[in-house]
Amino acid sequence: MAHRTTLEEQRPTNKPKAAKKPAAGGLAKAASHEDRESVFDAFRRWGYLEATLDPLGLFEPVKHADLDALTGEAAAEARGIYCNTVGADFMHLPEPERRRWIAERLEARSSQIDQHKILERLVRADLFEQVLQARYLGTKRFSLEGVTALIPLLDSILDTAGEHGARESVMAMSHRGRLNVMVHAACKTPHEVVAGFEDVDPRSVLGAGDVKYHVGATGSYVTSAGKKIGIHLVSNPSHLEAVDPVAVGRVRAKQTRYGLRGPYVDRSPETLNKVVPIVMHGDAAFAGQGIWAETLNLADLKAYTVGGTIHIIVNNLIGFTTKPTEEHSSRFASDIAKRQSVPIFHVNAEDPDAVVRIGKLAAEYRATFGN
């Protein structure tokens, strides 16, 4: 033991070198970055409450104490992103990579948008409604007026889906705006829609048939890149939201057909992205009807999943005759969807550029995460 002790005493000791002190500028930059991230994190969480979403000014933003206390350049920048005409509600997602993915795209420099195309589509959608109003005064048609931004929104979703391999899209919606979507998304000819108002179909000897805002439509949409996507707008009954599981079930069947590999069914993201479900709701129906919630409950189950459905709530700030404050207990009609890991984007439809950007983001999110 004595010999061992002697050896231990003679063994050279390596004293740790003193760490170099970082430059004062480095500390300042690190602190500045942390402060900026802290500010942005607050706006990512609560900014959607202060977003300007109601073009009529009746639905006032809710001030949040954590945001009121923030000032400075970072706060001004974050406020411009998260408290403008887009309210991004995504910090409830449990997956950090998804939250980070969304934040990076919202905070990045906006990509170029074809405003000429947006204007053209808005004008066409508005003129379509005005012609029907002038020619068939008083006829029930469930106009899209006030939310014609739905048309460029669908363009944005379909164009982006096409970039990710989409071949078909199955759509479901209720009455409001249905005729407009038939013409401008499903590419049904205007004279076919007008024939429904005239109750004249030279090919039919069976009478007028179903009402015009119940029937479905099948057509071919051509994306900005020149790719054709088959559109299937599912026939809709008067029972609100009853079409939801029908449309999603059709998507599942089509995806299965694309994925058949003998006895094996390929359900890879590439296969699921070939058929994109888009379901459009009214705000009152989304808040009040249960069938869409039952359908959403199946969304992530292996036996039912379709790789994500894009839901669009067309909010005209009134549910038949009921104000939003009298139709649901939550602040937003979409709040009930937070029970699942899905991001929610509230957009002021009077800002069509923002509508188009969010449509692209939603389609990219679905293609990336299958949700």
Question: Of 125, 127, 172, which Cα lies nearest the Cα of 148?
Answer: 125
Output b/e per residue, 117-143; b: 16+ Cβ within 10 A.
ebeebeeebbebbeebeeeeeeeebeb
Question: Quick one: pLDDT at residue 182?
Answer: 93
Q: Are 343 and 99 in contact (CB under 8 A)?
A: no
* Residue 14: predicted pLDDT: 52
SS3 readout for 66-85? HHHCCCCHHHHHHHHHHCCC
Question: What is the Cα 165 distance to its own chain's centre?
Answer: 18
Tell me what pLDDT residue 20 has: 54
**Residue 8 pLDDT:** 42
| pLDDT of res. 4 | 42
Q: How far apart are CA 156 and CA 63, in angstroms?
A: 32
Phi, psi of 357 (to 5 degrees): -60, -40
Distance (Å) of CA 299 to CA 105, 136, 280, 296, 306 = 25, 41, 16, 5, 7
Alpha-carbon distance of 49 to 73, in angstroms, equals 20
Output phi, psi for 102, to 5 deg.
-65, -45
CB atoms within 10 A of CB 326: 10
| β strands within the chain, DSSP E | 86-89, 168-172, 217-222, 228-233, 260-261, 264-265, 275-282, 310-314, 344-347
Report d(CA 275, CA 119) in Å as an integer: 28
Residue 3 pLDDT: 43
> Which pLDDT score, from 0 to 100, does residue 301 have?
92
Angle at 277 between CA 272 and CA 282, to 5 degrees: 155
* Distance, CA of 125 to CA of 143 (rounded, Å): 10
Task: Provide the 10 A C-beta neighbour count for residue 33.
Answer: 10
- Phi-psi sector, 345: left (phi>0), alpha (psi -120 to 50), beta: beta
Backbone angles phi, psi at 319, to 5 degrees: -100, 90
In this prediction the pTM is 0.86
From 24, 68, 25, select the one nearest 46 (Cα to Cα). Answer: 68
Supply the DSSP symbol for 205: S
In Å, how far from its chain's centre is CA 20? Answer: 50
Of 188, 186, 187, 296, give the one whose Cα is nearest residue 241. Answer: 296
Q: How many helices (H) and strands (E) does the chain have?
A: 14, 9
User: Which two three-digit tokens encode residue 346?
Assistant: 């509230």
pLDDT at res. 206: 53
Distance CA 325, CA 120 (A): 35
CA dist list (Å): 154 to 6, 122, 151, 268: 83, 12, 5, 25
**Residue numbers in the chain where pLDDT is lower than 70:** 1-31, 199-210
What is the residue whose two structure tokens read 């993915």?
101
Domains and CATH numbers, the chain: 29-84 (no CATH), 115-369 (3.40.50.970)
